[in-house]
C-alpha cells in the first residue's frame, strides 16, 4: 500500500489558524483585562499568568499535532485534522469569578491569591487526568442537569449578570458592542468583510470608546509601555497555594470538582463529535492531554485549565491539517513573551470586553437547557438558585452585611458551598423526576454529611456549624423514603384489587 504524505502545513491551515486564533486571543485578552480589573498587578498578570497559559497552549497544540500525525500514519491518510485546543472558556470564567476573585478578597494579597489559583488549576488538572480513566462512568452517573444547572448559576450571576452591569458603565461603546455581539453571535449574521463578530465588536467598541465614549487616550500610551519581554519562568508557587487551600479554603473543592468534571466531559463530547466528522481520536488520550497541558501550565504560572474545542469540527470542514495547531501554539507563545497580550489588555476598555462576557453567560445558560432532557428543566433552574445567594453574599455581605441580613437570614448560609448545594438539590429533583426515589434520598443524605462537616452552609470546615441544616436534609431524605414506601403500598393495593377482580370474574 502506498503511504500517504502528511504535510506539516498546507494552505487550508491558514483558515484554520485564524478561526482558532481569534477564539484564543479573546480568552487571553479577557483573562488579562479581568484580572487587572480585580486588582492583580501587571507583574503577575503579564509576567506570570499569561506566559504560563501560553506554555499550556503551546504544549497542548504540539501534543494534538502529534496525535494527528499518529492517526494519519495509522489510517494511511493525509486529510487528518488536529484537534483544536486552548483555554476552556466556560471554565475560565469559573476560575476568574469563583476562584481568583474570592482568593484575592479573602487574602488581600495578589501574590498569595495567584498561588491559590495555581493550586486550584493544578488540582483541576489532576481531576482532568483522572477523567481519562473514569470519565465515561462519571458521564453516566452524575445527573447532567444538576451539574450544568449549578454551573449555569455561576454564568447567570457572575458572568452574564455582572458583566451586563459593566457594559453600562461606558454606555456608548458598551451598547454598541453588545448589539454587534448579539447580531453576530446569537442571531449569527455575517459581519462586514467576513471579520469574526467578536473581533469586529472589539474594534468598533474600542474606536467608539476613545472617540466619543469617554475613554482616556492615555491608556494607549500605557498599553505601549507594558510591551516588553515576559519570558515564562518555572514556579512551585502551587505548593504554598495547596497548603493555604487545605487550611483556609477547603470549600473550594465544591467549585473545582464539578467544573473539572464538566471540562473532561466536554472534551469527551467534542472528541466524539470529531469522530463523527471522520477523525476518530482516542477520547481517553485527549482527556489525558488536556490534564497534562493544564498541569504543565501551572509550573510556569498559568491558572486556567485547557480543553479540546468544539471548533475542531469547523477546522475539519476547512480541511485544515496539523499546521494550524502548531502555528497557534507558537503565535501565542510569542505574543505573550513580547507583551502583545499585555498591550491589548491595557488599550481595550473593560466595558468593551464586558458584552462578550454577557454573550458567554447567555451561551452557558442556553447550552445547559439545550443539553438536558426537557423534563429536567426544573432541576436546572433549582440548581441555579444557590449561586444567586452566593453573588449577594460575596458582593455585599462584607460592606453591607446588615442590609443582606435584613433582606434574608438565609442568604449567607445558602451562598456558602453554593456549588454543592446547587448540585445536590438539582440531583434530588432529577432523581425524583425519573422516579429514582432511593437515589434522591441518597443525595439528601450526602447533603446532610457535607453540611455536618462544613462543606455547605458554614464559613469553613467545622463539625455541626448549624445543626438545623443537617436536620433539614435528613428530614428531606426521610420524606422521600416515606413517600417511596407509600407509593409502593398504593401500587400493591391496586395490584391486589386487580387480582381479586380477575378471580371474581
Annotate 317-371 with DSSP letters as a single string: HTT--SHHHHHHHHHHHHHHHTTHHHHHHHHS-HHHHHHHHHHHHHHHHHHHHHT
- Using DSSP's 3-state secondary structure scheme, residue 147 falls into helix
pLDDT score recorded for residue 505: 60
Beta partners for residue 85, in sequence order: 308
268 Cβ partners below 8 Å, 6+ apart?
131, 135, 136, 139, 283, 286, 287
* Mean per-residue pLDDT pooled into runs of 10, the chain (505 residues): 77 80 79 91 95 95 94 90 87 87 92 95 90 74 83 84 91 95 90 83 93 92 90 94 86 78 78 83 90 95 88 80 92 93 88 84 84 93 92 78 87 88 94 96 95 88 91 97 94 81 69
Go through the chain and tell me how many residues it has: 505
Quote the cell numbers at residue 175: 451598547
The angle formed by the CA atoms of residues 233, 236 and 240, to the nearest 5 degrees, is 140
Q: What residues pair up with 86 in beta bridges, in sequence order? A: 307
Q: Running DSSP on this structure, what letter comes out for residue 190?
A: P
Q: What is the pLDDT of residue 134?
A: 76
The counts of H helices and E strands in the chain are 24, 2
CA dihedral angle for residue 127, residue 131, residue 133, residue 138, rounded to 10 degrees: 110
How is the chain split into domains, by residue range? 12-370, 374-504
Kindly state the cell numbers that stand for 395. Answer: 458582593
- Which residue in 13, 19, 20 sits closest to 324, CA to CA? 13
Distance of alpha carbon 200 from alpha carbon 180, whole angstroms: 8
Residue 248 has what pLDDT?
82
- pLDDT at residue 173, as a whole number: 95
The SS3 call for residue 438 is: helix
**Residues 62 and 82: beta-carbon distance below 8 Å:** no
Q: What integer pLDDT is reported at residue 155 of this predicted model? A: 83
Q: What was the pLDDT predicted at 139?
A: 66
**Three-class DSSP category at 33:** helix
185-223: buried (b, 16+ CB within 10 Å) or exposed (e) per residue? beeeeebeeeebbbbbbbebbbebbbeebebeeeeeeeb
Residues 6+ apart with CB under 8 A from 43: none
User: Which letter does DSSP use for residue 144 in this model?
Assistant: H
Sequential DSSP letters for 444-485:
HHHHHHHHHTTSSSSSSS-TTSSHHHHHHHHHHHHHHHHHHH
Q: What is the pLDDT of residue 14?
A: 84
Residue 2: its pLDDT value, please?
57
Cβ neighbours for 429, distance < 8 A, ≥ 6 positions apart? 146, 376, 378, 379, 382, 440
Rounded (10°) CA dihedral 141, 144, 146, 152: 150
Amino acid at each position: 500500500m502506498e503511504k500517504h504524505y502528511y504535510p506539516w502545513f498546507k494552505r487550508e491551515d491558514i483558515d484554520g489558524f485564524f478561526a482558532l486564533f481569534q477564539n484564543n486571543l479573546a480568552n487571553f485578552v479577557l483573562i488579562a483585562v479581568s484580572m487587572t480589573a480585580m486588582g492583580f498587578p501587571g507583574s503577575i498578570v503579564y509576567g506570570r499568568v499569561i506566559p504560563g497559559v501560553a506554555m499550556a497552549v503551546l504544549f497542548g497544540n504540539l501534543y494534538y499535532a502529534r496525535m494527528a500525525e499518529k492517526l494519519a500514519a495509522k489510517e494511511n491518510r493525509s486529510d487528518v485534522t488536529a484537534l483544536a485546543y486552548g483555554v476552556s472558556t466556560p471554565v475560565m470564567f469559573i476560575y476568574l469569578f469563583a476562584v481568583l476573585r474570592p482568593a484575592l478578597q479573602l487574602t488581600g494579597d495578589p501574590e498569595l491569591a495567584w498561588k491559590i489559583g495555581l493550586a486550584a488549576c493544578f488540582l483541576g488538572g489532576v481531576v482532568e487526568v483522572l477523567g481519562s480513566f473514569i470519565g465515561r462512568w462519571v458521564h453516566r452517573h452524575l445527573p447532567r442537569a444538576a451539574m450544568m444547572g449549578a454551573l449555569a448559576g455561576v454564568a447567570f450571576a457572575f458572568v452574564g449578570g455582572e458583566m451586563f452591569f459593566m457594559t453600562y458603565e461606558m454606555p456608548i461603546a458598551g451598547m454598541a458592542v453588545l448589539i454587534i455581539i448579539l447580531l453576530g453571535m446569537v442571531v449569527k449574521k455575517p459581519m462586514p468583510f467576513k471579520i469574526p463578530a467578536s473581533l469586529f465588536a472589539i474594534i468598533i467598541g474600542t474606536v467608539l470608546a476613545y472617540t466619543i465614549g469617554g475613554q482616556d487616550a492615555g491608556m494607549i500610551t500605557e498599553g505601549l509601555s507594558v510591551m516588553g519581554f515576559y519570558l515564562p519562568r518555572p514556579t512551585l508557587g502551587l505548593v504554598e497555594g495547596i497548603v493555604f487551600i487545605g487550611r483556609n479554603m477547603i470549600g473550594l473543592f465544591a467549585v473545582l470538582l464539578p467544573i473539572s468534571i464538566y471540562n473532561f466531559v466536554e472534551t469527551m463530547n467534542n472528541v466524539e463529535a470529531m469522530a463523527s466528522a471522520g477523525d476518530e481520536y482516542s477520547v481517553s488520550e485527549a482527556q489525558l492531554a488536556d490534564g497534562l497541558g493544564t498541569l504543565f501550565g501551572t509550573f510556569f504560572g498559568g491558572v486556567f485549565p485547557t480543553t479540546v474545542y468544539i471548533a475542531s469540527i469547523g477546522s475539519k470542514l476547512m480541511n485544515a491539517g496539523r499546521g494550524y495547531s502548531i502555528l497557534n501554539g507558537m503565535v501565542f507563545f510569542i505574543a505573550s513573551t513580547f507583551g502583545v497580550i499585555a498591550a491589548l489588555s491595557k488599550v481595550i476598555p473593560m466595558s468593551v470586553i464586558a458584552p462578550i462576557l454577557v454573550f458567554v453567560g447567555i451561551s452557558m445558560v442556553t447550552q445547559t437547557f439545550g443539553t438536558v432532557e426537557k423534563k429536567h428543566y426544573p432541576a436546572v433552574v433549582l440548581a441555579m438558585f444557590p449561586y444567586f445567594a452566593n453573588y449577594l453574599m460575596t458582593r455585599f455581605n462584607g460592606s453591607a452585611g446588615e442590609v443582606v441580613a435584613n433582606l434574608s437570614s438565609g442568604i449567607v448560609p445558602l451562598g456558602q458551598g453554593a456549588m454543592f448545594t446547587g448540585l445536590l438539590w438539582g440531583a434530588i429533583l432529577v432523581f425524583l423526576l425519573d422516579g429514582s426515589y432511593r437515589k434522591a434520598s441518597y443525595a439528601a443524605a450526602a447533603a446532610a454529611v457535607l453540611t455536618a462537616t462544613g462543606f455547605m452552609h458554614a464559613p469553613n470546615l467545622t463539625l455541626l456549624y448549624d445543626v438545623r441544616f443537617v436536620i433539614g436534609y435528613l428530614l428531606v431524605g426521610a420524606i422521600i423514603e416515606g413517600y417511596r414506601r407509600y407509593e409502593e403500598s398504593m401500587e400493591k393495593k391496586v395490584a391486589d384489587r386487580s387480582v381479586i377482580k380477575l378471580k371474581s370474574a
